[in-house]
Amino acid sequence: PPHLVYRDHQLVMEDVALASLARAHGTPLFAYSKAAILDALAAYQRGLAGRPHLICYAMKANSSLAILQVLVRAGCGLDIVSGGELERALAVGCDPERIIFSGVGKTRSEMRHALQVGIGCFNVESEAELEVLDEVACDMGLRAPVSIRVNPNVDAKTHPYISTGLKGNKFGIAHERVVQTYLRAAACKGLRVAGIDCHIGSQITETGPYLDAMDRVLELVDAIEAAGVPLEHIDFGGGLGIDYAGDTPPSADALWRQLLERIDARGHGHRKICIEPGRSLVGNAGVCLTEVLYLKPGDQKNFLIVDAAMNDLPRPAMYEAYHRIVPVQPRDEPGLVWDVVGPVCESGDWLGRDRKLAVKPGDLLAVLSAGAYCMSMASNYNTRGRAMEVLVDGDQALVIRQRESAQDQFRMEQLLP
């Protein structure tokens, strides 16, 4: 990943030695490079330069307030999926008009709050939701800006759990029903049709599925407008992958050069483009630092027990995801092959399998590509406090989240009288 190098046998993020961070703050610890985040954003900004566009960071990838501030100050809007994420967006001072509300299960009260503050667009996922949103907006005497999420039925060729653009899943409205749904939306007093959106999946590493999806969406745009419903913007979702294990996704600017060619070729060059990238903005900007607790060599497997676990970094347990694991201060010795596991009482609690590492108890390891969908999916399982987070900027390291204590965790609970 960018902004992460070995200097004098020390893993360094920007100009901060990660060992010194771990010494100062303990482990597990997430560290993020601000420069890496801004570089990732710059690739999208280059790709969309000269076009009316809005980059709405999908905060589900990492919703820490300081990370949101970095991206909002650099010009991003935000893509949210809950009332809680709306509160985060408002807490960092995001202009409500630059907020997009996605998700299949918005509640009436979430809709009300979002309407009150005047968000930019509701990405609606079903006809039933459209009806409820119309009702809520009419009650408030407002018109809700809407976009309908269409399901382009393309295979994003990614893990089934994070593939969303195929017919058999819960997201979006089927191709065949899109035009009639738009006609219905256009007739609602509480709605104002603003755009169209799609999102075909996550950790996509090929350009093909994106181009196919764009073709389908543009066909729909033509059909919807031919039916008399004008659209202002096309929201093309997120999903661009990152390099976890030698993956080679296109760069954001290369991808958008190709997508814009399609858009122009079909005469839609004037249209405002919105996107909702998450992982590709923050994923490779972050690492999780963890300390080796115990070595447990065995007949069949060697286990390396570290102090980070599935509650901190759920992706391996949930998706069998691969994250590189590297020593923070490498030893000049031949290594052994280890399964890197955490302290949680589950066989599924592993961070990496069959990794060759030369380590001793007390050594520090860095789990790479941990900026996206790690901290934001962390839990308190086994009453483990969530990790501390630090933002690295040049030679500075700012604590952006304190370590969670046991008291923090049971603050909301009530002892019996």
Binding-site residue set for pyridoxal 5'-phosphate: 239, 276-279, 373
The nearer residue to ligand LLP, 238 or 327, going by C-beta atoms, is 238
Work out whether 58 is an interface residue with ligand LLP (CB under 6 A).
Answer: yes
| Complex with ligand LLP: residue 61 or 146, whichever CB lies closer | 61
Question: Which of these segments, 25-33, 46-54, 276-284, 291-299, binds ligand LLP (CB under 6 A)?
Answer: 276-284
Q: Does 312 bind ligand LLP (CB under 6 A)?
A: no
Compute and round to an integer the Cα radius of gyration of the chain.
23
Q: Which residues are annotated as a binding site for substrate?
A: 279, 315, 319, 346, 373
Residue 242 sits in the site that holds ligand LLP (CB under 6 A): no
- By CB under 6 A, the residues from 157 to 176 that bind ligand LLP are 162
Q: Tell me the catalytic residues.
A: 345
Residue number, 145 or 327, with CB nearest to ligand LLP = 145
Contact call for residue 102 and ligand LLP (CB under 6 A): yes
How many residues sit in the footprint of ligand LLP (CB under 6 A)? 20
Residues contacting 344, CB < 8 A, separation 6+: 309, 310, 311, 381, 382, 384
Cα(4)–Cα(126) distance, integer angstroms:
43
Closer by beta carbon to ligand LLP, 55 or else 136: 55
Measured CA to CA in angstroms, residue 266 lies from 216, 326, 371 at distances of 12, 47, 37
Nearer to ligand LLP, 58 or 341 (CB): 58
- Residue 147, CA atoms < 13 Å, CB-side half-sphere: 32
Q: Where are the alpha helices (DSSP H) in 227-306?
A: 252-265, 279-282
Torsion angle in degrees (nearest 10) through CA of 177, 181, 183, 189: 170
Site mask for ligand LLP (CB under 6 A), range 335-374, x = bound: --------------------------------------x-
151 binds ligand LLP (CB under 6 A): no
Q: Is 314 exposed, middle or buried (0-12, 13-18, 19+ CB in 10 A)?
A: buried
| Residues facing residue 364 across a β-bridge | 291
DSSP string, 151-215: E------S-GGGB-SSTTSSSSEEGGGHHHHHHHHHT-TTEEEEEEE---BSSB--SHHHHHHHH
Two tokens, residue 222: 């033509």
Quick one: which of 147, 163, 181, 202 contacts ligand LLP (CB under 6 A)?
Answer: 202
Give the one residue of 79, 134, 349, 389 binding ligand LLP; rule: CB under 6 A.
79
Distance CA 180, CA 157 (A): 29
Q: Does 120 bind ligand LLP (CB under 6 A)?
A: no
Binding interface with ligand LLP (CB under 6 A): 58, 61, 79, 102, 162, 199, 202-203, 237-240, 276-280, 315, 319, 373
